[in-house]
Structure 1
Amino acid sequence: MTFDTSSFIILAILSLFPALVVAGGMYLLTQKYLERDYRKRLLEIRLKNSEAILPVRLQAYERIILFLERITPSNLLIRVSPSGLTAAEYQAHLLQEIRAEYTHNLSQQLYMSEVAWQQVKKTKEDVVTMINQTYQSLEDKSKGTELAKRVLETILHNEIDPTTQALQFLKRELQEVF
């Protein structure tokens, strides 16, 4: 029996074929195992991170809710007394108080959803706008007590506090977490 080169090549290919099939199967199995192991480790890391981050996120929401409560006009007007101030001085004092509270809590946006943070920013601007518009409606020589009275009248007239919607939104978002 004589072998020519073409027969030898065919015989070599036929004898290598099972080895290539086994090697390919081993490669695919190894890839799937490594991929599954990678996903498992990634999941473990995310779980550990969420265990560490969840308390910080809750604290951020607590601080933002406290911020919103502090800038709620009725609470703000009680905390920042208008006694002895002109309406212009009282307006400036109220706006400075809101800005200070906001600046103090600015870093909390890192732990909140973008939608929640935008709601907080909008609420702050709504409170500032309400104070500014109310101040603009006063006479030049008005006292701070008149500004406070008019802001409260505006809230009663509108029957909704500008911070209510944001507070409700944050509470709903937190309920989704738990």
Structure 2
Amino acid sequence: MTSFSGYLPYAFALIIAIPFLVLLRQFVFTYIKLKEQEIKLLSIKSNSENKTQSYERMTLFLERLKPSNLIQKFDKGLAVHEFIFLTEKSINEEFEYNSSQQLYLTKNSWKNIVDSKNAVIDLLHKTYEGLSSSPNLDEFKTVFIMNYMNSEDYISATIEDLRREILIIA
């Protein structure tokens, strides 16, 4: 019996330590599980923020695409063909800069944005082709805006579609 009594303090310590080890193990697993959930939530939040920023950036692009804003961009001393060239170049550069935003937009929204961009560029060229031999820049800008106003307001419609989609996401 004396040999067993020498192990008694160790057995007592083991009996006390086992529940603490089980609780510690449970705590660590629970902590890891909560951290994984937190990471998932942060990634969802980050993705949602990216989507929101994409919709904001593309709305800004569309606002800049409106003819009333385009006509104010360049020096009044330009020839009409120079204005058209610089405006088209500016539109395409800004579009290319924002093209990565399509990752966060629906296919339909992206198609509408591309169609709006192409329609404005087409309107620039059609307005120029429809004018008399050599219009001055002010005449061209006036006719350009009038042609846009007399057609469907596809830019505002696209912006409204983006608004509806972002409300669904948010």
TM more than 0.5: yes
Structure 1: gaps (5+ residues) = 1-39
Q: Is the 8 A contact 1:120 1:166 kept in 2?
A: yes
Structure 2 residue 169 is the aligned partner of structure 1 residue 177: yes
Provide the alpha-carbon RMSD of the alignment: 2.1
Q: Is the 8 A contact 1:82 1:148 kept in 2?
A: no
In the alignment, what sits opposite 2:80? 87
In the alignment, what sits opposite 1:75? 69
Secondary structure at the aligned position of 2:96 is classed as helix
Q: Is the 8 A contact 1:60 1:108 kept in 2?
A: yes
Deviation at 1:46, TM superposition (A): 5.2
Matches within 5 A, 1:154-169: 154-158=147-151, 160-169=152-161
- Identical-pair percentage: 28
Alpha-carbon distance in structure 2 between the residues aligned to 1:46 and 1:70: 36
- Closer/same/farther in 2, CA of residues 68 and 53 from structure 1, 3 Å limit: same
Matches within 5 A, 1:9-88: 44=37, 47-78=41-72, 80-81=73-74, 83-88=76-81
Structure 2: gaps (5+ residues) = 1-32
Alpha-carbon distance in structure 2 between the residues aligned to 1:46 and 1:116: 27
Q: Is the 8 A contact 1:72 1:162 kept in 2?
A: no
Matches within 5 A, 1:57-136: 57-78=51-72, 80-81=73-74, 83-136=76-129
Secondary structure at the aligned position of 1:105 is classed as helix
- Closer/same/farther in 2, CA of residues 72 and 165 from structure 1, 3 Å limit: same
Deviation at 1:170, TM superposition (A): 0.4
> Which amino acid in 1 is paired with 2:158?
A
- Please give the per-residue CA displacement for 1:119-169, whole angstroms capped at 9, x wherever unaligned: 1111111111111111111233222222111111112323x4331111011
Secondary structure at the aligned position of 1:164 is classed as helix
In the alignment, what sits opposite 2:6? none
Structure 2 residue 138 is the aligned partner of structure 1 residue 145: yes
| TM superposition score normalised by structure 2 | 0.72
| TM superposition score normalised by structure 1 | 0.69
Alpha-carbon distance in structure 1 between the residues aligned to 2:161 and 2:78: 35
> Which amino acid in 1 is paired with 2:147?
T
* Most deviating of 149-158 and 51-60: 149-158
Alpha-carbon distance in structure 2 between the residues aligned to 1:88 and 1:140: 12
> Which amino acid in 1 is paired with 2:112?
Q
> Which amino acid in 2 is paired with 1:171?
R
Deviation at 1:115, TM superposition (A): 1.2
Deviation at 1:82, TM superposition (A): 5.2
